[in-house]
A and B are shown apart, each in its own frame.
Chain A
Amino acid sequence: MNLANLSPLAVLLPILGAAVAFMLIRHHTAQRMVSIGVLSATLLLECLLLMSVWDGGTTSVTLGGWLPPWGVVLVVDQFSSLMLVVSTVVSLAVLIYATGQGMADGDQEAPVSIFHPTYLILVAGVSNAFLTGDLFNLYVGFEILLTASYVLMTLGGTGPRIRAGVTYVVVSVVSSVLFLVAIAMIYGATGTITMADLAVKLAELDQGTQNLLHVMLLVAFGIKAAVFPLSFWLPDSYPTAPAPVTAVFAGLLTKVGVYAMVRTETLLFPGDTLNVPLMVVALLTMIVGILGALAQSDIKRLLSFTLVSHIGYMVFGLAMSSVAGLGAAVFYVAHHITVQTSLFLVTGLIERRGGSSSMDRLGGLAKLSPLLALLFFIPAMNLAGIPPFSGFLGKLGLLQAGVELGTPLAIVLVVGGVVTSLLTLLAIARVWNRAFWRKPEDAEYPDPVLQTPGSVAVLPRTMVGSTAGLVVFGVALTVFAGPLFRVADGSAGNMLDRSAYIHSVLGDSVQVPPLPRTGDAK
């Protein structure tokens, strides 16, 4: 009995939990217990999955009795299980945070009865996207998580949220249509949509067709991952959602896009045919994103722009298609999910304590709430890549890989990465200086909450606790960076080699096609 046979449960448990939570729509306490319990069980299961593939090795599960290459397969390898564990840790923390917020607010802002089932369906969609070994099932996974995210984005149906939701939904639907067109074309060209089978059969197509399919997939995933110039929708739509929703979106949804890009680049279209355009795009994403962040005065919008900017690092690592670069990118994804989510959660706390998330209105929070300042400071420094933290290690790995590669463009990207890192520090320092260090009176339009010492809004313990837990998890990524990097590099090696993945799905007899090189392509 293989442990990986339990992997469908990572998708099924949240869906079942969502059904139960939906039935308990009038019993808020029971609903909370169910959703937190289900997510904890999912996390436990995913930890088991990760342990089973910790030293490498890939296992696949065939669903529904249709053998590959016809049926849907779920593939558990180091990358997918690592992503599963990190994403579920983050979702669990955000769920507890949201529960705390709901209890404290009397659920006016976020109707909790809809929130819990939808949230669990979102988690199921994310797990499905990470696990699946079938291109159309990946589309279905995306749609599950997107549809759930539409609901979460417009929770409460207030004016700004509907406005933001419209942009978000339209952009997401267009990207899904593009993805579906790409799937249809790939099916027309090869007659299969199982990813392992595609890895073999796409290599037989002529280079022009391959490039067309490749670019279509990358554009579809690029919209979801918010890669410049397809990132315009993100800073407009994310900040208006409720704080926990923004946090989980920022952490997970773009990373699912990045995950899909990684699979496209390594499994479906290996080699370096599109590495140069990807690197240019990565550079632009980093620079344009962080310049956008510097112009903002709202913390949530600023963080949304840094989110876009740091996607550039992951694309950079991916574009190098070397074990070192891809390994660093995998590590960076895990780090960034955690850090970005904790920063958004802290911003939710800032909003509660200071009455606003606009830097023009905040001030003096370090004195008013030292714990909040600490909770902001650690992930903020982590995001900026200040030495002992995991952000530094991830960036260092990327830069080292870039220098190792040594092409002029890679060197430019290394420089761009350092500049982006410094500008991130500048953006974060501005938040710190303005919201935390200056006196409340110095704010442009100081919020009255900050100036009346008597009316201290006590932060709910659950919200602070879950945020602190996530911050500690982010620090743990630093402490255990050694083993984590080993897994990341192992997964990168496996993904670039491809044979483990293909053999695990299709059997050992299949010949893995050799990697195309730029020289052959032109």
Chain B
Amino acid sequence: MSINLTLLIVMGVLYACGIYLVLERSLTRVLLGLMLLANATNILILSTGGYAGVAPFFTKETSPEAYSDPLPQALILTSIVISFAVTAFMLGMIYRTWVLARQDEIQDDLEDRRVAETPSFDAEDDAIVPLETSEFAVTTTGPTDQERAEATETPGSLPKKEGGST
């Protein structure tokens, strides 16, 4: 299998730019990065087909070595169509983000942030549960309840219910 150096260099540049862009936080750049990655991959598939020859099944007399390998081209065609569809969908999503939030950035998952900022106490054992009503009186930690209530109040802005009251 012969290798076309130009294709390889183009492919490498596309991959490099694509990976750089995918790591950006702006959605449009991520999309551009994904498109570059897809195209770099298409070139990779093309280069696996070897050198360019005549069209497959040209004439009866042409020797098999003179043909281009048709399979990579079929694969590329499929992957172009797929990346086209995905690109269109991504554009739609980016537009929707813009309409909703007026920004072109990947946003944080709020619930994830909240869990990450939760202090390192076990919600099950340390939550302020009124002791007398619980069937599972696991928290017999009366004196420390006050401290823990303070610990839980710091992260969230929502008002915290006092232990025992309804």
Contact = CB atoms under 8 A, between A and B. Distances in A.
Interface stretch (A36-44, A156-164, A388-396, A489-497): A156-164
A180 B38 CA distance: 9
Contacts of A143: 82
A216 to B, nearest CB: 12
Given A188-B1, A236-B109, A162 B161 contact: no
B134 A301 contact: no
B126 to A, nearest CB: 12
Q: Looking at A150, A173, A193, A239, which has the most chain B CB atoms within 10 Å of its CB?
A: A173
Nearest to A360: B123
A442 B37 CA distance: 52
Given A173-B34, A177-B37, A433-B136, A162 B89 contact: no
A140 interface: yes
A295 interface: yes
Contacts of B124: 430, 433-434
Given A174-B37, A187-B48, A297 B115 contact: yes
A150 B100 contact: no
A162 B90 contact: no
A473 interface: no
B158 A445 contact: yes
A444 B127 contact: yes
A444 B72 contact: no
Contacts of A22: none
A219 to B, nearest CB: 15
Contacts of A173: 34, 37-38, 86, 90
A164 B109 contact: yes
B40 to A, nearest CB: 8
A298 B109 contact: no
Nearest to B159: A445
A187 B161 contact: no
B111 A298 contact: yes
A170 B166 contact: no
B130 interface: yes
Contact of B45 (A159, A184, A295, A434): A184
Q: Which of A174, A184, A433, A439 has the most CB of B within 10 A?
A: A184
B14 to A, nearest CB: 11
Interface in B3-61: 22, 27, 30, 34, 37-38, 41, 44-45, 47-48
Interface string A295-315: 111100100000000000000
Chain B contact residues, majority secondary structure: helix
Contact of B133 (A136, A185, A193, A439): A439
A367 B118 CA distance: 30
B66 interface: no
Contact of B115 (A139, A167, A296): A296
A235 B109 CA distance: 10
Nearest to A426: B124
B150 interface: no
Interface string B136-166: 1000000000000000000000101100001
Nearest to A137: B78
B79 A441 contact: no
Interface bin, chain B = 35 or more
A296 B118 CA distance: 10
A462 interface: no
Nearest to A150: B89
A25 interface: no
Given A170-B22, A173-B34, A183-B75, A301 B106 contact: no
A437 interface: yes
Contact of B86 (A147, A167, A433, A438): A147
A180 B41 contact: yes
A181 B135 contact: no
Contact of B112 (A177, A236, A445): A236
Nearest to A239: B111
B65 to A, nearest CB: 14
Interface in A9-39: none
A442 B72 contact: no
A177 B107 contact: no
Which of A158, A164, A185, A187: most chain B Cβ within 10 A? A187
A176 B160 CA distance: 45
A139 B86 CA distance: 14
Given A150-B89, A166-B97, A169-B86, A177 B133 contact: no
A412 interface: no
A165 interface: yes
Given A174-B22, A295-B115, A169 B48 contact: no
A165 B106 CA distance: 10
B93 A169 contact: yes
Contact of B134 (A188, A438, A444): A438
Nearest to B136: A433
B151 to A, nearest CB: 14
Nearest to A440: B166
A423 interface: no
A151 interface: yes
A167 B109 CA distance: 10
B82 A187 contact: no
Interface string B78-89: 110010011001
A187 to B, nearest CB: 5
Interface in A181-236: 181, 183-185, 187-188, 193, 235-236
Nearest to A142: B82
Given A136-B78, A143-B82, A184-B41, A163 B48 contact: no
A170 B37 CA distance: 12
13 contacts: A162-B100, A167-B109, A170-B30, A176-B82, A177-B38, A177-B41, A184-B44, A184-B72, A188-B48, A236-B112, A438-B135, A442-B130, A444-B127
Interface of A: 70, 136, 139-140, 143, 147, 150-151, 154, 157-159, 162-167, 169-170, 173-174, 176-177, 180-181, 183-185, 187-188, 193, 235-236, 239, 295-298, 301, 430, 433-434, 437-439, 441-442, 444-445
* Closest 9 A/B residue pairs (Cβ): A188-B48, A184-B45, A184-B44, A163-B107, A441-B166, A143-B82, A236-B109, A180-B41, A177-B37
